[in-house]
Chains A and B, each alone.
Chain A
């Protein structure tokens, strides 16, 4: 079976969805609110589901074609024959891109369906689904492209969708009149620009080096050049391939830091929670933010060459190590910041930053499969957690509305003395106002528990397998010991803040009247939750470990189902299992690092202890009321609440930048360029020359010549006029003298 021809459908279907929701959606909903929302929402969901079906077909096609990467050309995008420069627009179907497609369309479809329920009643329902399909469209371009340029198109496209969806409620203002949603969108956009700039530079450098941006060509020639020890010529200067690729990969890290919210650019992701919850789940947890990891995994050849070449950035650290340390540090720092958050979604946002740090660290250590494994399981359980938190928020809002309706009924006409009318603005996302929701929202509670345990890495849920595979990689190599320690600490943090969250939301007594009246969400929302909960439970099956190399080989030889579907085996066709030596591309298979018993045991014990410490220790009784401070608020951990680079950027970098911009504008632009260059150099010299031309050349020269001819004639005529006396005698005399003169001439000279 071969369905590669269907590959363009993964882009065409969402495109149809965009057009439908964008052009017809508003009219359909205006005609009939209830049925219209269903039509628009389900149409968009079906387009995502269709893309999922195509992705599954592509998966089977790959299996039947022995995992051979297939490049499906669509059209030629840029073609400059004179420069021998062609950029085709093609879809690369290989095991890595199909894995990503499945995540994007699978989780995406479920979140689409969930959003039908969540966005119910929103006046911009159809706009939401148009943006949602647009996101799927660009995300699939990003993961399916066959070149860095296509990846970049998708990269920018999802950035746009992220901006559009974070500021989806752009007209909302807080009590100070600040449009915080619009600001959050802008912040995300600007932070991403920083990373995108690095991406562009990296791409230009790649093109300069290899003359192409196609993955096949670029990676193939990179390996060849490395094996032959070739030096890269840049015209005026030359550099070793390792050095160039170190620069490229460091810039890729910068791009990934923007998109995947790593230090130092993670600051936008917590703010991005201003968007609707399905957006947080799909874009800012499951898919878009993982594109940085996809980029690193996709560029594994570059990273491995950079590692093998021994080139170091400023002689300090090799670029893959920098990636690993960035990821580990982000994981730990974001895990600590998550302690200090009260907004249910912001806890999850910092958790996402932290988990992305795990993946980046794994990719930096060369554990690409582990990174992808964690990417997939994280997409499942983090989408689940976000959607569940959306269900909680929905329930709280419901309770709040119920409360108000009830209050009005009880007090009849006099709502001036309504006890709730004068209360502070109610924030349905503040965990301090929740509590005791376990009985009110039973389904949400259970799926939230599954998500929490999966995230905390408790056996046998999905997170356990993927996180411990990363930890096993870190522990295997003594050089990665600091990373192992940081990641383990981050894992403890993860369990702790999730325990804190669970305890504050679901256990104890309700701390706000709204929590007392919270109700379970509609099936349209809970059914996708249950599906995701199932996936989060079973996700670990994707890459079930074989505890010995022999067992793995035997299973593969026997073509057993598990071994063939194992992610390790699946991805090895896109991520070649090789180790490069410094002398050249000496390829040798590396042993897949499965989970290790001792490491797994330690991390699980630590996670359970942290969970218990949160639930039964620190937060056992507290907080009792919504205004009571957090028990941790006196500890040094709270210091991280003010640590965020955010403050640094807002207070330090941005004013500095503004001052620099003002300096550019005032001094360079006005004082130097306008006042000095324009006025003094250009204007004065020009005016001087123009004056010279008009006064001297034209006035004195040309005019003088013309006027002079006139006045000379007049003066001459005036002089000659005097000889015209009017006396006949004088004329007669002149005739006489003339005659005498003529005669004298003839007689004396001419006739001689």
Chain B
């Protein structure tokens, strides 16, 4: 059967994922959750890249996704290390308590 899933579906899904991720970053207090929300936003972007690469028959989008996955992996490694370090001193990963840079 011819595919009935058009590009609009992918775009809609990607927007929903991005919105969930952005709201998660803005509203949640737990640093781990925020991290996961960030991943969600990255992956919504990846989804859009892949979908448009297929839709336009161009491999550039696919290639870019690999870069994004690599950078995200590195970011998670650094971010988690930071969270562990903060937790060790503060005994908490509630980001509302991390406001030492307040002006």
Interface membership of A724, Cβ < 8 A: yes
Q: Quick check: is B25 within 8 A (CB to CB) of the other chain?
A: yes
Chain B residues with CB under 8 A of A724: 101-103
> Are the CB atoms of A729 and B102 closer together than 8 Å?
no
* B102: A residues at CB distance < 8 A: 724-727
* Contact residues in A for B100 (Cβ distance below 8 Å): 726
Contacts of A722 in B (CB 8 A): 103
List residues of chain A with CB within 8 A of the CB of B34: 728
A255–B12 CA distance with the chains assembled, in angstroms: 128
Name which residue of chain A comes closest to B22, CB basis: A736
Is the Cβ of A726 less than 8 Å from the Cβ of B26?
Answer: no
B96, A732: Cβ atoms closer than 8 Å: no
Q: Is the CB of A721 within 8 A of B103?
A: yes
Would you mind naming 29 contact pairs between A and B with Cβ atoms under 8 Å apart? A720-B103, A721-B103, A722-B103, A723-B103, A724-B101, A724-B102, A724-B103, A725-B99, A725-B102, A725-B103, A726-B100, A726-B102, A726-B103, A727-B95, A727-B96, A727-B99, A727-B102, A728-B34, A728-B95, A728-B98, A729-B25, A729-B27, A729-B95, A729-B96, A732-B25, A732-B26, A736-B22, A736-B25, A736-B26
Give the Cβ gap from B33 to chain A, nearest Cβ, in Å. 12
Q: Tell me, in angstroms, the Cα distance from A728 to B103 when the chains sit together.
A: 13
Task: Report whether B26 and A729 are in contact in the complex, using a CB–CB cutoff of 8 Å.
Answer: yes
Q: Which residues of A contact B (CB under 8 A)?
A: 720-729, 732-733, 736
Cβ distance B16 to chain A, nearest Cβ, rounded Å? 17
B28 to chain A: closest residue by CB: A729
Q: Give the chain B neighbours of A721 by CB distance below 8 A.
A: 103
Candidate in B22, B98, B101, B103 with the most chain A CB atoms within 10 angstroms: B103
Residues of A within 8 A of B99 (CB): 725-727
Q: Which 10 A-B pairs have the closest CB atoms?
A: A724-B103, A726-B102, A726-B99, A721-B103, A726-B101, A728-B95, A732-B25, A733-B26, A727-B99, A729-B26
Residue among B25, B27, B100 with the highest chain A CB neighbour number at 10 A: B25
Enumerate B12-44 residues with CB–CB distance to A below 8 Å. 22, 25-27, 34
Query: Nearest chain B CB to A378's CB is how many angstroms away?
Result: 115
Q: How far is the CB of A718 from chain B (nearest CB, A)?
A: 9
Chain B residue at smallest Cβ distance from A722? B103
| Distance in angstroms between the alpha carbons of A724 and B100 in the assembled complex | 11
The distance in angstroms between the C-alpha atoms of A453 and B20, with both chains bound, is 153
B29 to chain A, nearest CB (A): 8
In the complex, what distance in Å separates the CA atom of A440 from the CA atom of B37? 154
Closest chain B residue to A725 by CB distance?
B102
Measured CA separation A726–B102 after assembly (Å):
4
Q: Which residues of B contact A720 (CB under 8 A)?
A: 103
Nearest residue, chain A, Cβ from B98: A728
CA gap between A725 and B95 in the complex, in Å: 12
Residues of A within 8 A of B95 (CB): 727-729
Residue of B nearest to A736 (CB): B22
Contact with A along B81-94 (1 / 0, CB 8 A): 00000000000000
B46-103 interface with A by 8 A CB criterion: 95-96, 98-103
Contacts of B96 in A (CB 8 A): 727, 729
Give the Cβ gap from B75 to chain A, nearest Cβ, in Å: 15
Q: Closest chain A residue to B103 by CB distance? A: A724
**B15 CB → nearest A CB, Å:** 13
A398 to B94, CA, bound (A): 136
Instruction: Give min CB distance, B24 to chain A, whole Å.
Output: 10
* A723 CA / B99 CA spacing, docked (Å): 13
Enumerate chain B residues within 8 angstroms of A729, measured Cβ to Cβ: 25-27, 95-96
Task: Report how far A729 CA is from B103 CA in the complex, Å.
Answer: 15
CA distance A720 to B103 in the complex (A): 9
Which residues of the other chain, B, contact A725 by a CB distance below 8 angstroms?
99, 102-103
Task: Give A725 to B96 CA distance when docked, in angstroms.
Answer: 10
- Please indicate the chain A residues that have their CB under 8 angstroms from the CB of B22 in the complex: 736
Chain B residue nearest to A728 (CB atoms) is B95
Given A728-B95, A728-B98, A736-B25, 11 further pairs, Cβ under 8 A: A720-B103, A721-B103, A723-B103, A724-B103, A725-B103, A726-B99, A726-B100, A726-B101, A727-B102, A729-B26, A736-B26
Which residues from A are CB-within-8-Å of B26?
Answer: 729, 732-733, 736
The complex places the Cα of A722 from the Cα of B22 at a distance, in Å, of: 24
Considering only CB atoms, which chain B residue lies closest to A718 in the complex? B103
Pick the most buried of A721, A725, A732: most chain B CB atoms within 10 A of its CB. A732
- Report how far A720 CA is from B98 CA in the complex, Å: 20
Q: How far is the CB of A507 from chain B (nearest CB, A)?
A: 129
- Taking CB atoms, residues of chain A closer than 8 Å to B103 are 720-726
Determine which residue in A721, A723, A725, A729 has the highest number of CB atoms from chain B within 10 A of its CB, and name it. Answer: A729
Which A residue sits closest to B99, measured CB to CB?
A: A726
The docked-state distance in angstroms from the alpha carbon of A575 to that of B4 is 152
Q: Report the bound CA distance from A736 to B37 in whole Å.
A: 14
A717: shortest Cβ distance to chain B, in Å?
9
A735 and B32 alpha carbons, distance in the complex (Å): 20
A11 to B100, CA, bound (A): 108
Bound Cα distance from A15 to B102, whole angstroms: 103
How distant is A626 from chain B, measured CB to nearest CB, in Å?
119
Residue of chain A at shortest CB distance from B29 = A729
CA distance A727 to B98 in the complex (A): 7
Residues of B near A732 (CB, < 8 A) are 25-26
A724 to B95, CA, bound (A): 15
Assembled-state Cα–Cα distance A174/B22 (Å) = 124
- Chain B residues with CB under 8 A of A733: 26
In the complex, what's the smallest C-beta–C-beta distance from A721 to chain B, in angstroms?
Answer: 4
CA distance A194 to B26 in the complex (A): 110
Contact partners of A728 in chain B: CB under 8 A: 34, 95, 98
Chain A, residue nearest B38 (CB): A732
Nearest B-chain residue to A723, judged by Cβ: B103
Q: How far is the CA of A407 from the CA of B22 in the complex (A)?
A: 145
A723 to B101, CA, bound (A): 11
**B residues near A726, Cβ cutoff 8 Å:** 98-103
B35 to chain A, nearest CB (A): 11
Tell me the minimal C-beta distance from B58 to chain A in angstroms: 20
B101 proximity list for chain A (CB < 8 A): 724, 726
Cα separation A101 to B34 with both chains bound (whole Å): 131
- Name the residue of chain B whose CB is nearest to the CB of A732: B25
CB closest residue in chain B, given A733: B26
Task: Report the bound CA distance from A724 to B99 in whole Å.
Answer: 10
Q: How far is the CB of B40 from chain A (nearest CB, A)?
A: 14
Residue of B nearest to A721 (CB): B103
How far is A721 from B96 in the complex, measured between Cα atoms in Å?
18
Complexed CA–CA distance, A437 and B10 (Å):
163
In the bound complex, how far is the Cα of B92 from the Cα of A638, in angstroms? 135
Nearest B residue to A727, CB-CB: B99
